[in-house]
Amino acid sequence: MNVIQTTVKGELVKRLIVKYWSKIWEMFLDRIYTAEFEIIREKAQDPTNVEGDFYVDVNS
């Protein structure tokens, strides 16, 4: 098992999180669906300048 981590930046009000998960679902990854999550950092206090990390489990 490997974990892929990516970072996204943008405006929360423009459905940033939903759109990025949609991109992940469209990727051709060998996902194992054990633990997939995002961590939105303290920058989320300003919804126009959000930064967060996405983690997805894939087969090695």
User: For the chain, what is the domain count?
Assistant: 1
**What is the pTM assigned to this prediction?**
0.85
Cα gap 4→45, rounded to integer Å: 26
Q: Domain containing 32: what range?
A: 2-58
| pLDDT per position as a tens digit, 2-57 | 999 999 999 988 999 999 999 999 999 999 999 899 999 887 788 899 999 999 99
pLDDT of residue 23: 95
